[in-house]
């Protein structure tokens, strides 16, 4: 073999030895994981019994948090306890929630969440922010959540805002952030705006009248409808006339959701909109909400020049439980 080609030998050796070493390392790691899983499986029966007991104790704690339960819960993995508490706090309210928060604090779970809030993983920080909302009576928690409002990940900022909005005295700071931060124009911010509308109708109404940018306005209209803020009907009705197509659709839907007297006019306008997609949306709305009183709108949409609108109208007609009138030339 010529000497020039043998110069490649080192590279070739590196390739085959390196590949073998990599495969050996990867398989060794898998074997370690198999062992870890095996140990986990061996410990499972005992752990499952302890977890069932923990579940029973925590459900009991919603009624009466006995101090003795802490001893039984301390040996369990904090991640399991946090998940369990999270599930329970989503279904209980008032005093029971406060008791669960107390249990979490006594078990040191709040400290764990505060540590998670500093994690390098944005997902862990967001989850910690969401769970910390239960402990807003603690000054340290409030401070950490306010800090997370400036996090570099949008999901973390939204999670912190969703928690902080629960505290009336912190709302101005959260709202100030929401007005300048682009994360709050994102569909993922819906929950924040909805919660604000539910908790503080006065401040929300004021904001609703001030905010003019389309992405936030869209979320605010949805939030107003979800919170049942009928008083905002006239403003929403104005949005159904003046603004971007998506806003017109959402505004009409919101008015219907609110059962507002202006809903009929908004739906009528939507059904006559120059945008075929919105006319189709009107037909879908009538059908899905079984709005039989709008059947004459549907009748007109059945003759619409756009085939999609005609199809949606026919669908809606069937949905509201009437035989569609026989029409010719529907482009089938």
Partner 1 sequence: MEPAPLLLLGRWVAASVLAISLGQQLFYAVLLFIALGALVLRPPLKRLRSLWSTLVDLAPPLTILVPAHDEELTIETSVRALLALQYPDFEVVVVNDGSRDRTLERLIAAFDLEREDVEPAALLAHAPIRAVYRSRQLPNLRVVDKEQGGKADALNAGLNFVETPLFCAVDADSLLESDSLLRAVEPFVEDERTIAVGGTVRVANGCRVEGGRVVRASLPRRLLPLLQTIEYLRAFVMARLAFERLGALLIISGAFGVFRTALAIEAGGYRRDTVGEDFELVVRMHRHACARRLPHRIRFVPEPICWTQVPERLTALARQRIRWHRGALETFFTHRRLLTGGYGAASWIGFASLFVLDVVTPLVELVGYVIFPIFWMLGIVWWPFILAWLALTFVAGIAISAGALILEELELRQVPRARDLLLLALAAVVENFGYRQLVNFWRLVGHWRYLRGVTGWGRQPRLRFEPA
Binding track, positions 206-245, relative to partner 1; x by CB under 8 A: --------------------x-------------------
**Helical (H) or strand (E) element with 119:** none
Site for partner 1 contains 295 (CB under 8 A): no
Out of 62, 65, 103, 127, point to the residue binding partner 1 (CB under 8 A): 127
Measure the CA–CA gap between 162 and 222, rounded to whole angstroms: 16
State which residue, 269 or 288, has the beta carbon closest to partner 1: 288
Binding track, positions 250-289, relative to partner 1; x by CB under 8 A: ---------------------------x------x--xx-
Footprint (CB under 8 A) of partner 1, residues 164-193: 186-188, 190-191
Footprint (CB under 8 A) of partner 1, residues 29-48: 29-31, 33-35, 37-38, 40-41
Footprint (CB under 8 A) of partner 1, residues 82-121: 83, 86-87, 90, 121
Measure the CA–CA gap between 82 and 99, rounded to whole angstroms: 14
Instruction: Please choose, from the candidates 242, 167, 252, the residue with its C-alpha nearest in 3D space to the C-alpha of residue 212.
Output: 242
Cα-Cα-Cα-Cα torsion 165, 167, 168, 170, nearest 10 degrees, comes to -70
Footprint (CB under 8 A) of partner 1, residues 43-82: none
Q: What are phi and psi of 120, to 5 degrees?
A: -80, -10
CB atoms within 10 A of CB 292: 12
CA-CA distances (angstroms) from residue 203 to 141, 165, 172, 222?
24, 12, 9, 16
**Residue 241 CA neighbour count, 13 Å, CB half:** 9
Out of 117, 324, 325, 327, point to the residue binding partner 1 (CB under 8 A): 324
State which residue, 174 or 313, has the beta carbon closest to partner 1: 313
Instruction: Please choose, from the candidates 225, 221, 175, 218, the residue with its C-alpha nearest in 3D space to the C-alpha of residue 196.
Output: 175
Cα-Cα-Cα-Cα torsion 284, 288, 293, 297, nearest 10 degrees, comes to 10
Contact residues toward partner 1 (CB under 8 A) are 1-2, 5-6, 8-9, 12-13, 15-16, 19-20, 22-23, 25-27, 29-31, 33-35, 37-38, 40-41, 83, 86-87, 90, 121-124, 126-127, 155, 186-188, 190-191, 194, 226, 277, 284, 287-288, 307-308, 310-312, 314-315, 318, 323-324, 330-332
């Amino acid at each position: 073999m010529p000497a020039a080609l043998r110069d490649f030998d080192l590279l070739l050796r590196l390739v085959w030895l390196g590949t073998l070493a990599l495969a050996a390392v990867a398989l060794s790691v898998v074997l370690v994981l198999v062992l870890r899983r095996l140990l986990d499986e061996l410990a499972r029966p005992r752990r499952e019994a302890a977890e069932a007991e923990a579940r029973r104790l925590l459900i009991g704690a919603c009624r009466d948090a006995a101090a003795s339960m802490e001893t039984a819960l301390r040996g369990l993995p904090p991640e399991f306890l946090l998940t369990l508490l999270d599930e329970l706090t989503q279904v209980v309210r008032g005093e029971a929630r406060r008791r669960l928060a107390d249990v979490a604090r006594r078990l040191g779970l709040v400290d764990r969440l505060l540590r998670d809030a500093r994690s390098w993983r944005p997902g862990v920080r967001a989850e910690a922010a969401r769970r910390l909302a239960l402990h807003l009576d603690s000054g340290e928690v409030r401070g950490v959540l306010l800090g997370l409002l400036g996090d570099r990940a949008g999901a973390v900022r939204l999670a912190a805002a969703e928690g902080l909005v629960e505290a009336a005295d912190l709302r101005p700071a959260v709202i100030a952030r929401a007005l300048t931060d682009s994360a709050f124009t994102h569909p993922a911010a819906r929950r924040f705006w909805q919660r604000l509308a539910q908790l503080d109708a006065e401040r929300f109404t004021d904001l609703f009248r001030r905010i003019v940018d389309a992405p936030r306005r869209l979320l605010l209209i949805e939030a107003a409808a979800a919170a049942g803020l009928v008083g905002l009907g006239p403003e929403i009705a104005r949005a159904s006339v003046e603004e971007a197509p998506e806003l017109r659709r959402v505004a009409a839907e919101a008015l219907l959701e609110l059962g507002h007297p202006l809903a009929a006019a908004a739906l009528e306008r939507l059904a006559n909109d120059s945008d075929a997609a919105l006319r189709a949306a009107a037909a879908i709305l009538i059908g899905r909400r079984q709005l039989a009183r709008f059947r004459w709108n549907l009748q007109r949409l059945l003759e619409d020049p756009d085939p999609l609108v005609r199809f949606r109208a026919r669908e809606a007609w069937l949905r509201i439980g009437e035989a569609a009138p026989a029409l010719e030339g529907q482009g089938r």
